[in-house]
Amino acid sequence: MSVDDLKEINNLLENILVFEIKFKEEILAKAENLDAAGLKKLKIILSEVNKWQGKILDKKIKEDHDFYNKIIRARKKSDEEIISLYKQKLNDEDHKKMEIILSKINSV
């Protein structure tokens, strides 16, 4: 598989919210062993999932105008938990650097 194919599949997977990370990793690993026809088929399938997901999200946002905000809040909470885990492992100097970075991010 070429680097471009890998990037394209990775980008398609990143945009699919309904797949768990482990499943995305398994798909990416499997893609490395596919021939050109298999890669083409995988790209088509992932594109179809992306389109389906977009339609469903549009429908849900129209039904529940706060739905997108709920997703953003959940993602932010998840990101904050991940950052918290990293912070627990950092030493004092790195912790200070992380606080500066976080304050810059929060000011955006």
DSSP state of 64: -
Q: Averaged over 16-44, what is the pLDDT? A: 91
DSSP state of 18: S
pLDDT of residue 51: 94
Residues contacting 8, CB < 8 A, separation 6+? 43
Whole-prediction pTM value?
Answer: 0.62
41 vs 92, residue with greater confidence: 41
Tell me the pLDDT tens digit for each residue of 48-104: 999 999 998 889 888 988 888 888 899 899 888 988 888 777 767 777 787 888 888
